[in-house]
Structure 1
Amino acid sequence: MESRFAEPSVLILVSLASGPKHGYALIKDIEEVAGATLGPGTLYGALSRLEQRGLIEALPAEERRRPYRITAAGAEAVQAYLEHVRQVAAVGLRRLGAAHA
Structure 2
Amino acid sequence: MTSDRRASWLKGVLDLMVLASLTAGENYGYEIVKDLAESGLGQIKGGTLYPVLNRLEEAGLVAAEFRVTERGPGRRYYQLTDRGRQTLAEQGGLWLSFGESVRAALLKGGVEPATPREGELR
The correspondence of residues 75-94 of structure 1 with structure 2, limited to 5 A, is 75-94=85-104
Higher mean C-alpha deviation, range 88-97 or range 3-12: 3-12
What's the counterpart of residue 6 of structure 1? 10
What's the counterpart of residue 35 of structure 1? 41
Cα distance in 1 for residues equivalent to 2:45 and 2:51 = 10
Cα distance in 2 for residues equivalent to 1:65 and 1:58 = 10
Q: Which amino acid aligns with 1:43?
A: L
Cα distance in 2 for residues equivalent to 1:74 and 1:60 = 19
Cα distance in 2 for residues equivalent to 1:48 and 1:77 = 16
Unpaired runs of 5+ residues, structure 2, are 112-122
Cα distance in 1 for residues equivalent to 2:92 and 2:106 = 20
Q: Which amino acid aligns with 2:56?
A: L
What's the counterpart of residue 84 of structure 2? 74
1:94 CA displacement: 2.1
- Identity over aligned residues, as a percent? 26
1:97 CA displacement: 2.4
Q: Which amino acid aligns with 2:76?
A: R
1:32 CA displacement: 0.5
CA-to-aligned-CA distance 1:50-92 (integer Å, 9 cap, x gap): 1110000013515111211011111111221111111122222
Instruction: Indicate the SS of the match to 1:57.
Output: strand
Q: Which amino acid aligns with 1:6?
A: L
1:35 CA displacement: 2.5
Instruction: Indicate the SS of the match to 1:66.
Output: strand
Unpaired runs of 5+ residues, structure 1, are none
The correspondence of residues 15-54 of structure 1 with structure 2, limited to 5 A, is 15-54=21-60
Question: Which of the pair is proportionally richer in strand?
Answer: 2
Aligned length: 101
What's the RMSD between the two structures over aligned residues? 2.1
